Structure 1
Amino acid sequence: MIREFFYLQKSDRKVILSLLVVIVSVFTMIFLTGGKDTSTVTPQKDSLQSVTHKNYYYASSSKKVERFTFDPNTADSTQLLRLGLQPWQVRNIYKYRAAGGIYRQPIDFAKLYGLTVKQYRELEPYIRISSDYLPASTLVKYKPNYSQNAPKDTAEYKPSTKIKATEHIVLNTADSAALITIPGIGPYYARRIVQYGNRLGGYVSIEQLDEIDDFPVEAKQYLVINNPSPKKLNINQLSLNELKRHPYINFYMAKAITDYRRLHGTIKSLNELRLIKDFTPEAIKRLTPYIAY
């Protein structure tokens, strides 16, 4: 019975055998090709090209650092990034200002988290703090107190008497009390004049007052300079830190001086440094009265 059930004619056996051969061939091809879908290859390739192109883009982009004058109290994020600061440093500056923080002098900017000494020294010559951010107390002037109980004989209650147009004050010997008698000069500018003169080592020209931010030009007519004898810097003996304290010598100039001394020995004239970028004819001219050899 079983033999009769599985008995097939010769033609049927050929058909079944052909189907088996076809099925085996199909499974063999699938096994050899690993079942890969060629349709997925192209997107992967495109994705790889896209990633490669993206990596190449970022690798080729470079951040150009610029140098220009800026006020850290008002500079926007674009300016701060152009100066070479990192985005997280810019965010810290914005947070500091939003919390009411004010940069009152350039050295205050050195407190920025993550700022190195080298970065600060490079930025320091370009920091300009507006007088708008100084304490409001600098605007207060001494006024007479007309109260009957006020001590009229104290200087606090006496009005300052301004000098006449024909009178003059010697700039290098005047103190703050004398300077506030000049029309247009109050305690703030009187203090700035004295401080800047001390940093210079003495004034050699009235025009140097223009180097003080927002200095009232009309006040210069009341000032004179008699026999200027500025304090001189021994260019061959002072260290880099001592040299760059002078307003006319920045970090790069001080470094150039010390490097030149190390390579060439004693400097006999500032003209020896004229080939260095920072020692322009104008810089040499204004620095000359303050240099000794």
Structure 2
Amino acid sequence: MAKFFSEREIRAIAVFLPLAGLLVLGVVLVRPKADPAAALRAEAEMEERADTLVMRPFDPNTVDYDGLRRLGLSKHEAVSLLKYRAAGKIFRIPEDLTLCYGIDDSLFRRLEPYVRIGRKYAIAPQEFRRGRVVAEPMPPSRFRLDTVSARYLRAIGALSKRQAEAFIRWRDLSGIYDMEELRACYVVSDSVAAALEPYIIFPERQTAPIDEPVEINTADSAALRSVVGIGERTVVSILNYRGRLGGFVCVEQLAEVPGVTERNYEKILKQICCDSCEIRKIDVNFATPKALGRHPYIPPQTLRKLLKKRQLKGGWSTAEELIEDKILTREEAARLAPYLRFGTRSGSDDE
């Protein structure tokens, strides 16, 4: 019977198999075991860091342990930075943070926008020029927006030098009289505007007396924009709402427009009027579901009841019938009635 392996090959296999077994056994024994407790501690530390995260400007030469923890640093990272500083090290530029053991590149990139090196330690140019070194941000206080300086906006950490100068030019050219116009400035982000809002004192807009009030149903965007209290965004909201509504029956409906604040509403009422003859009515008996559903006074639930009853009944002659059929309440009917027309099959206009 022929042999499959030579004696030399058999001896080699006999030596290899025990060695392979020992190697597998070593890998199994040396492999690190999972430590559930360590994993839970790491997860708890990450959750604690996320819950206390408050990004704000800081000086790494003076910030304390609690301040570092509020910035999102772990306990190990915060203690590492404090030990580095206790050893006599000084942070002169933001990049010096990367020399601190425990501050990796990803953490540095997150902290870099908020690093403010105080004038005492910062590397100043050979020929010092005022304003080159950013001082530690000062806490903001209430200020008038029409007289505030670029230097103050920089000092409280709201804007950079270029942003502050661009903001002052924008303000002097166009004027800023409310939060909507402040957000319209291209160098002011929504987050910065929200942070500054509690401290801003807006100037009163000085306008020439209005000879005639603006008729809100026929006014175009330019005419609406001339009304004190109506900004660019509010103009768009008014035009969109007027289109869905079919026109305003009374000026008080302006309070329903998104973006019209209570403060601006009082100003606007003195400068507008309303001609209810200009409103556009909708034929409740023949209008398409899309046309009916577009009206802000006909919510989806009311629309479903109306269409179902119209299919069975054919239509109505008065708003009172809509109340009797329990499609509208008396209050809803009173609000919607000026916009309804009850057409007949012989003379109806589909909308």
Q: Which of the five TM-score ranges fits, normalised by the shorter chain?
A: 0.3 to 0.5
Say which structure, 1 or 2, has more relative contact order (CA 8 Å, 6+ apart). 1
- Larger Rg computed on CA atoms: 1
TM-score, length basis structure 1: 0.43
TM-score under structure 2 length normalisation: 0.37
